[in-house]
C-alpha cells in the first residue's frame, strides 16, 4: 500500500469515527456552599454522566481552615441547620457498605477524596465518584443529597466518617 493510500485510509477512518461519536448525555447542577453562619463560602458544581459524578469545588478565601478536609455526599438535601448541618443525615449508602475509600468493606456511596484548603482558606478542586447524579439511587433522588465539607481530613477507613469531625460547609443537591 502506498503512503498516499494509507493516508487516505486514515482520513476515512478518522472521519467515520468522528461521525459515529455521540455527544455524551451530561446533567449539570450548580449550588452555593454555605458555612456555619449561613454565609455563602463558594460554589459546588456537579456534572453527572452515565457512570458517575464529577464535582468541582471553588471556595473563597477564608472559607475553611488551611489544610485537608474530608468531603462526602450526605443523604438528604437540606443545609438549613447551618450550625451543625445534621439535617443532611448520614452518607448516601444504598448498598450498606462501610465508610472509606481504603476500607476493604467499603467504600460507601458518599465517599470522596479529601480537598486541600490553601493558606488563605480557599479551595479549588475537582473530584469524581461512581455515585450517579440522577435517578432513584442517585444524588438527585426524592429528598436530594448534600455535599458536606468537614473540619478535618478523612482517613478513608475509620467508621463512620474517617475522623473528619464537624460539618463546616454544605451544598444542596436537588
Ligand atoms: Cu461527611
Per-residue pLDDT at 104 exceeds 90: yes
Residue 9: CB partners within 8 Å, gap ≥ 6? 1
Q: Tell me the average pLDDT across 142-169.
A: 97
Model pLDDT, residue 18: 52
CA of 23 to the centre of ligand 1 (A): 34
CA of 1 to the centre of ligand 1 (A): 61
Per-residue pLDDT at 16 exceeds 70: no
CA dist 143 and 90 (Å) reads 13
CA dist 88 and 173 (Å) reads 11
Q: Give the model confidence (pLDDT) of 45-98 as tens digits.
A: 999 999 999 999 999 999 999 999 999 999 999 999 999 999 999 999 998 999
What domains are there in the chain, each with its CATH number?
A: 27-173 (2.60.40.200)
What's the alpha-carbon Rg for the chain, to the nearest Å?
20
Pick from 3-12, 84-93, 105-114, 140-149: least confident = 3-12
CA of 72 to the centre of ligand 1 (A): 4
Per-residue pLDDT at 7 exceeds 50: no
CA of 161 to the centre of ligand 1 (A): 6
Amino acid at each position: 500500500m502506498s503512503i498516499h493510500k494509507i493516508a487516505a485510509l486514515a482520513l476515512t477512518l478518522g472521519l467515520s469515527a468522528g461521525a459515529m461519536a455521540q455527544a455524551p448525555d451530561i446533567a449539570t447542577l450548580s449550588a452555593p456552599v454555605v458555612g456555619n453562619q449561613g454565609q455563602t463560602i463558594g460554589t459546588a458544581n456537579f456534572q453527572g454522566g452515565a457512570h458517575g459524578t464529577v464535582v468541582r469545588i471553588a471556595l473563597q478565601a477564608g472559607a475553611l481552615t488551611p489544610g485537608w478536609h474530608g468531603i462526602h455526599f450526605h443523604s438528604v438535601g437540606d443545609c438549613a441547620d447551618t450550625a451543625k448541618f445534621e439535617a443532611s443525615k448520614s452518607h448516601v449508602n444504598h448498598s450498606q457498605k462501610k465508610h472509606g475509600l481504603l476500607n476493604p468493606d467499603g467504600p460507601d456511596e458518599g465517599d470522596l477524596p479529601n480537598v486541600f484548603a490553601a493558606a488563605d482558606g480557599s479551595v479549588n478542586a475537582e473530584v469524581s465518584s461512581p455515585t450517579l447524579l440522577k435517578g432513584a439511587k442517585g444524588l438527585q433522588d426524592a429528598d436530594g443529597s448534600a455535599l458536606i465539607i468537614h473540619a478535618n481530613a478523612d482517613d478513608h477507613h475509620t467508621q463512620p466518617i474517617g475522623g473528619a469531625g464537624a460539618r463546616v460547609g454544605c451544598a444542596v443537591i436537588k
